[in-house]
Amino acid sequence: MAGTDSTAKKTEAPALGAPAIILVKPQLGENIGMCARAMLNCAVTDLRLVAPRDGWPNPSAAAAASGATQLLDNAKVYATTQEAVADLTFVLATTARGRGMVKDILDPHAAAKEIHKHNSAGPNNANTEQKCGILFGCERAGLDNDDIALANAILSIPLNPGFTSLNLAQAVLLVCFSWLSAGNPFQPAAAPETPVTNEQQNDAPASQAEIETLLKHLESQLEQNNFFRSAEQKPTLLRNIRNFFFRAGPTRQDVRTLHGIFKCLTGNRDWK
């Protein structure tokens, strides 16, 4: 249904506040293409791929995208999930079950509201950018626990408990459509008239990258002080620590304060 010039222009304009869709280790190019189509149906255009199995670009993705090729051309590819979410301030992990992680579990409607709230809460029309993202795992096994640990909350799609098998593009479609339906993204939000204050800057959520830097510091310090008694325990302990800090959703000020606290506890010597 492409066609007139004005239609084409609308296709190019991303909807305000649309979340990034991050496919982690997607297997089939065809599925990536169908995800792109489902995203563009819902005016969601920021596609990110983490280590796609068959490399990138992938001609079978374009064949399945039914015209949503621009979105594929603009897709960003990352080696790790961590890099793919580095600039995001609110991240959801899509899973069928809670996996025993202590995180909020949102259905697509609640997730959509949370994303809209997140976008409108921050001074997102000003210099401080707020950006949400939604992680989807690979077709075979979904997200692994280390990916989920990076998320602020879990997104779970409530389906017929007797038949929950949903393909990747359908999951992406339901989530993106819930986002589209929950807001009115084609109406531009009025720009805030007041300039952003320092206080608002401090209240802004820290980016994943800012939290990551904090946790890397912490990890190396703990390593140095023999916190991880055994090599087997280390991954679990680290995942729990990461889970806690990402789930907590620290502000920029919180991250600065935590740097200060950790530095102070080490006697100011070793914290850089």
Instruction: Give 23 or 112: the residue with its C-beta nearer to a second copy.
Output: 112
Report whether 68 contacts 39 (CB < 8 A).
Answer: yes
To a second copy, the closest distance from the beta carbon of 88 in angstroms equals 19
Q: How far is the CB of 55 from a second copy (least distance, A)?
A: 26
Q: Which residues contact 136 (CB under 8 A, 6 or more apart)?
A: 21, 22, 23, 24, 35, 94, 143, 168, 171, 172
CB closer to a second copy, 10 vs 59: 10
d(CA 44, CA 19): 7
Query: Residue 67 carries which DSSP code?
Result: T
Distance separating alpha carbons of residues 24 and 131, to the nearest angstrom: 18
The nearer residue to a second copy, 4 or 127, going by C-beta atoms, is: 4
Please name which of 86, 91, 89, 93 lies closest in space to residue 130, comparing C-alpha atoms: 89
Of residues 76 and 259, the one with the C-beta less far from a second copy: 259
Contact present, 49 and 56 (Cβ < 8 Å): yes
By C-beta, is 193 or 269 nearer to a second copy?
A: 269
Half-sphere exposure of 94 (CA within 13 A, CB side): 29
State the nearest-atom distance from the C-beta of 179 to a second copy, in Å.
Answer: 12
Query: Structure tokens of 215?
Result: 């946790």
Q: How far is the CB of 216 from a second copy (least distance, A)?
A: 14
- In terms of CB distance, is 12 or 87 closer to a second copy? 12
- Distance of closest approach, residue 251 Cβ to a second copy, in angstroms: 5
All residues at 6 or more sequence positions from 166 whose CB lies less than 8 Å from its CB, including other chains: 157, 159, 174
Residue 131 near residue 151, CB atoms below 8 Å: no
- How many other CB atoms sit within 10 Å of the CB of residue 263? 16
Query: Smallest gap, in angstroms, from Cβ of residue 130 to a second copy?
Result: 18
Quote the tokens at residue 71. Answer: 């979105």
Of 121 and 264, the one with the shorter C-beta distance to a second copy is: 264
**Distance (Å, rounded) from C-alpha 117 to C-alpha 17?**
10
Q: 55 or 267, CB closer to a second copy? A: 267
Q: Could you tell me which of 144, 150, 143, 170 has the C-alpha nearest to residue 159?
A: 170
Question: What's the closest the beta carbon of residue 145 comes to a second copy, in angstroms?
Answer: 14
Question: Measured from the CB of residue 128, what is the shortest distance to a second copy in angstroms?
Answer: 19
